[in-house]
Structure 1
Amino acid sequence: MTSFSTQSGRAAPLVLALDLGTSGCKCALVTLDGKVEAWAFEPVPLHIDGMAAEQDPNDWWQAFLRAASRLCADAGMRRRITAVCCSTQTEGTVCVDAHGNALGRAMLWLDMRGAAPIARRARSRLFNIEGYSPLKLWRWLRLTGGAPALSGKDCAGHIAYIRDHEPQRYERTAAFLNVLDYMNLRLCGQCCTTRDSILTAWVTDNRDPNRIRYDDRLIRMLGVDRAKLPEIVASTDVLGVVRRELAEQLGLPADTVVVAGATDTSAVAVGAAVADFAPHLYLGTSSWIGAHVPFKKTDVFSKIASVPCAVDGRYLAMGLQSTAGANLSFLRDRILFHPDELLSDEERPDVYEVLNVIAARVPPGSRGLIYMPWLFGERTPVDDPSLRAGLVNLSLDHTREDIIRAFMEGVAFNTRWMLEPFEKTLGRPTGPIAAVGGGAQSALWCQIMADVTGRPVRQAESPIEANAIGAAYIAAVGTGALRFSDIPALQRYRRVYEPSSGLRRLYDDRFAVFKELWRKLAPIYRGLNPTTEGITHARP
């Protein structure tokens, strides 16, 4: 299945921007000032087997070739392309041999096979804090700003698993690459990693944002050979020109350059709000609140940290909500349109816009319903994988209209909850919030976010294209066409949603109840869903 869209635009240089996510590869042709002129999408299969979650790196490449070929079929368009730049999913690990060939499938951010191997590396024999040796945890936090996830889902867990359980593949590996690094290798032949891409291997000293470098002690803690780690570059570095055979296949100019690019979180931040302390909210399957800051800081209790990013001399402060749009997907797929005897295929409409229309009919406050959106535990402001979703105060008077709005308000309450420690990390109140991602296409959800958080919400002109636009901006900076300080004036917004003063008291009261529900229910969830080494096990 392939999607394609074009918009009219002036004849200006274009960036071929790659947005490679778990679901597939979107390629976009974007002007240097952030206007998307055309895009194409190709899906990529996902392979899940128990705790394993993998994709074939060659599937990424073939999806890119198919999508890019559609865009480059227009000779006028392809002649305008001056650079290629990627934004990709992160916390994926590809093993490549000395010839740059992928050794098997890539382990993805969903893959938990590294839980036990990383736990052995993280803990001490005598005393541990939440599964970590105090000395090791202090060293990770001081140097990197974070620590390996005990779930094994990040690159550190992947590398530890391959080292311990696949020794033959480990020995054949010349370099461990993240998803971004692999795509750059295929584009131009350079084996390298960016400052943000290498982050979750947790082997770098990040105290100077302009000089991210490997730390020998951290490398020994992970137990990986230093020679298997690629050179670190800046996101704006020009890596070289595209491979000759690729240029010929797509019809690109031979001097088309490859700019290093960034992981999805970094690229979205550039595309949404690049100025210091300017917040953005990404509303996708999960969500996060982020802002660029000039300092490195970690809040270990709320799980908010400022980490290396695409902008020179800056860090990206972030707080992550485990599930946001996933709650509406759950409502759609498991409740409203679950494929059982109550539903036939022809009764399933294009439902997201319908959900917005239905929820808009319900008064603010969802007639007393409160939803807790913790379908997959939570990360910020509490790191508790045992938490679960719940709908409270349901009565015979309620309808599914009320439930739909309550789901949207519940995600907004959790976002307001994240903002409390996030503002402490920034050291100042947040101003207007730029909203991007699939969920930000909803005018109703943007208004709910504004009303619940009490902050204006700026809906991006192209919310679902923030990754590609961010990659294009990074390429423009890398090629000297722009400076990062030029970008705020280029960022466009469809509409600004102001919070309603008349709803302030209502949502303040509901938010207080939301937090009280967490305090009362968290001990119950821990009993129902005990955790072991970062993995949650539901009781039968």
Structure 2
Amino acid sequence: GVTFSSQSQTLVPVDEKCNPIRPAISWLDGRSADIMREQLWTPPRVMGYNIFHILRFLRITGGSPGQTGKDQIGKIYWLQKYEPENWAKTHKLLDPKDFIIYHLTGEYVKSVDLAVVWWLMDTRKNRNQWHPKLLEIARVSEDMLPEIKDSAAIVGKITKKAAEQTGLLPGTPVVNGATDLACAALGSGAITEGEFHACIGTSGWVAGHVTKRKIDIPHYTGCIGSAYPEKYYLAMAHQETAGVCLEWLKDKVLYHKDQLLKEYNVEKVYEVLDQLAASVAPGAEGLMFTPWMYGERCPLDDDHVRAGLFNVGLNHSREHLVRAVLEGIAFNTRWAMETLENLYFKVDKVNLVGGGAKSDLWCQIIADIFNRKINQVDTPHHAALFCFG
């Protein structure tokens, strides 16, 4: 069989033939923050949330959309207000994985873990069904959304048309799969309660499987769906920009890639960045970086906060800049870890996945800043694949 993992909270509106009506709206897109305040988080407010709506979301889903405008309900509001012609054409509202599954099987299906973070599903006692009152708040009908099934469910078979297009055998079973978050949690090896893993990818997070659902609204930390919803929730402290900050530094600030490779005589540019950072003592001589380059979820829940470099002096060089970025991301991830620890339990070790975990230097920086043992997962950038075995 075949299965899939994809990012969550990327909205793909499609027509009756499952053709995209417009470009997908990605998980990082915060265009609907103002609309959320106008249409959902209206007065009376507590900490920016409409008190009646937030209580309903918490009671039914165990969580809630945030205030950053990056949740699916905000993107739906945005389409309804600013692209009514596209909204009128919309037959189904999908995530990327749902889109692929349909074109392979002809079936509209969503996994439980993806449905959870739409905040429109009744999760009480694993009912895992779209909730009419929440759909009413979002102004969508249930027939616009896929059927919800477990991650391990066989949702269909490769059609003849899909087989011709992909080279896969017709009739091959297709398993529902799960989000990158849920799959990385399994691939990290931190699969039982009492363990955490952290990810340094484009975004970053700290997460762990738990049997009891809790939430910290002020710090936008709580539980999403796991790949095994019958037993576990996935406690999650998610951060918007992690490794992408280093990519920004590489592409927008430092020398061109070819110049860096030539100057340092290495094959991969990130090896250059490791060398630069390693040449500077911990603390980067007081240079500090805050990695909020596109707002933040945990622990700030603020779409407007932005990154900064502090204490910049004439003594600082690009070496200091690279080290400050690595350390700033590590400190921010520690903040997420401590938020999750305060909600659940302390840990003495963390399994690290994501592209950032390929760097021995960065792993050591994270271990020093976390004051925890860091287990560097083998081929950590492929952790999400390991859960499929």
Structure 2 match to 1:100: 18
Structure 2 match to 1:240: 156
Residues 396-415 of structure 1 aligned to structure 2 (within 5 Å): 396-415=314-333
Distance 1:155 1:439 in 2: 28
Cα deviation per residue 1:287-341 (whole Å; 9 max; x = unaligned)?
1111111122110121111111212321111112222212222222232227xxx
Structure 1 match to 2:264: none
Structure 2 match to 1:261: 177
Distance 1:176 1:399 in 2: 48
| Residue 302 (1) aligns with residue 219 (2) | yes
Worse-matched range after superposition: 456-465 or 397-406: 397-406
Alpha carbons 1:207, 1:296 under 8 Å: kept? no
| Residue 347 (1) aligns with residue 274 (2) | no
| Residue 378 (1) aligns with residue 303 (2) | no
Structure 1 match to 2:46: 129
The 1:373–1:173 alpha-carbon spacing in structure 2 relative to 1, beyond 3 Å, is: closer
Cα deviation per residue 1:388-444 (whole Å; 9 max; x = unaligned)?
333334444443323322221121111222222211222x21232111111110000
Distance 1:387 1:118 in 2: 17
Residues 357-506 of structure 1 aligned to structure 2 (within 5 Å): 357-426=275-344, 428-470=345-387, 472-473=388-389
- AA matched with 1:102: P
Structure 1 match to 2:103: 186
Q: Find the residue that maps to 1:301 and give its secondary structure.
A: helix
The 1:360–1:139 alpha-carbon spacing in structure 2 relative to 1, beyond 3 Å, is: same
Structure 1: gaps of 5 or more residues: 1-82, 339-344, 474-540
Structure 1 match to 2:128: 212
- AA matched with 2:307: A
Alpha carbons 2:117, 2:224 under 8 Å: kept? no
Distance 1:203 1:385 in 2: 22
Distance 1:440 1:373 in 2: 17
Alpha carbons 1:181, 1:197 under 8 Å: kept? no
| Residue 285 (1) aligns with residue 214 (2) | no
Alignment RMSD, CA only? Answer: 2.2
Structure 1 match to 2:265: none
Alpha carbons 1:206, 1:308 under 8 Å: kept? no
Q: Find the residue that maps to 1:358 and give its secondary structure.
A: helix
Structure 2 match to 1:318: 236
- AA matched with 2:195: A
Give 1:447 deviation, angstroms: 0.8
Q: Find the residue that maps to 2:49 and give its secondary structure.
A: coil
TM-score (norm 2): 0.90
Q: Find the residue that maps to 2:178 and give its secondary structure.
A: strand
Cα deviation per residue 1:428-472 (whole Å; 9 max; x = unaligned)?
2123211111111000000111111111111111111112223x2
Distance 1:328 1:102 in 2: 32
Alpha carbons 2:79, 2:86 under 8 Å: kept? yes
Give 1:283 deviation, angstroms: 0.5
Distance 1:373 1:113 in 2: 20
Compare CA radii of gyration and give the structure with the larger one.
1
Q: Find the residue that maps to 1:458 and give its secondary structure.
A: strand
Distance 1:377 1:102 in 2: 28
Alpha carbons 1:90, 1:197 under 8 Å: kept? yes
Distance 1:346 1:462 in 2: 25
Worse-matched range after superposition: 214-223 or 112-121: 112-121
Structure 1 match to 2:7: 89
Corresponding residue pairs, total: 381
Give 1:213 deviation, angstroms: 1.6
Cα deviation per residue 1:55-112 (whole Å; 9 max; x = unaligned)?
xxxxxxxxxxxxxxxxxxxxxxxxxxxx111111221222233343333332222434
Distance 1:286 1:295 in 2: 26
Distance 2:368 2:31 in 1: 41
- AA matched with 2:106: G
Alpha carbons 2:215, 2:221 under 8 Å: kept? yes
- AA matched with 2:22: G
- AA matched with 1:429: K
Alpha carbons 2:237, 2:340 under 8 Å: kept? yes
Give 1:386 deviation, angstroms: 3.8
Distance 1:407 1:111 in 2: 23
TM-score (norm 1): 0.66
